[in-house]
Structure 1
Amino acid sequence: MKILIADDDPLVCRSLSMLLSREADMTVTETVSNGAEAMAACKKHLPDVILMDIQMPEMDGIQATRRIKESWPEIRIMMLTTFKDEQNIRLALVAGAEGYLIKSTQVSSMAHQIRTLASGASVLDADVLKQLSGRPQGAKKESADPLTPREKDISALVAEGLSNREIAARLYISEGTVRNTLSVILEKLQLRDRTQLAIHHWKR
């Protein structure tokens, strides 16, 4: 898996590059310091995943994400930032980012989340999901819940960022069962995708 790191902090770039390069299935192709350089690096390397900071000179991460997704929609983009305010989160997701992690995430966990993102799933930090849910503390839960216990289990694991394969292994069921159950869950809740399901889970 080819990874591009875009961050204007040289220490962050060096640290991430060194630590992720220890993963057998990951290769850091380049580190860049702004969005314009990230676009140039995409032309050169066509990475599988980009770890993208938000605040960078010349072209910020949100602008770069939007432009990269227009030209290379197959590239998966994980925002990796210190910002966890709702405005930046929503702007990044609207721009096309499939993931949003906070820089305090442990590298071992980050490698797992990168693999999950590359597999096609959306990955959002737990604090980010709570921020998006907008549920005030002490708010009452909705009384009606159409999900079965197994469907609730799968929803909770989706909210943790697990892929279908990982959910299947955790619950000792087949991937096909996970896929089919997930389709039923989305239909029941009238949700579009895994990200909306994760947000729904945190709201409750």
Structure 2
Amino acid sequence: MIKFTECLNDTWDYFFLTDPYNLLQFKQENDLSDDLLHEFTTNESAELATQNGVIIPMSSVSNQPYTIFFNSNNQTSEFEKDSSTLLFKKSGYVLNVINNEICLITVPYLKNWTIENGINRLKEAVKSGVRQKVVLENGCYAVTILGGFTIQDTIEEATFEFQINPIAKGTQSKVTDIGFPYVIEK
């Protein structure tokens, strides 16, 4: 399990989980503008991207620091510990990885999604520890998102855990409510 601390949403109420190169390929194949935020909010491209395993949108993410776990090897969930409080468990997502990585990104990156301004800017943010990235083998993955509170170094923290497991290529997402609110509050 890979852990990240002090993860922020850049004051927007969204996180997005994606393979950055798969998102770029989706943009090009669907002839979308560089402003993916505009595209995703004015047409059906966000639903299509979600159903095709390109991106997982997480709405209603409060502006606070988060501890984030990527669990890609079936380890015991952080939420199975006695000191944790699970608020939601959302399954049915699919994510396709074509460039051996997935990243947790925020709205500002989607406003100009190009190699230079999206992907390279994201790479720099990962290097500086501002954005989160994990390495995965290329393939298709089922993603379950858990959210709530866990105890980290004796402090209760808002936490997301992404459980990521390989599945058959071509599997479609079963999520129909892409606006599910990922609210972690007391």
TM-score by length of 2: 0.22
Structure with bigger helix share is: 1
Structure with bigger strand share is: 2
Give the structure with higher Rg (CA): 1
TM-score by length of 1: 0.21
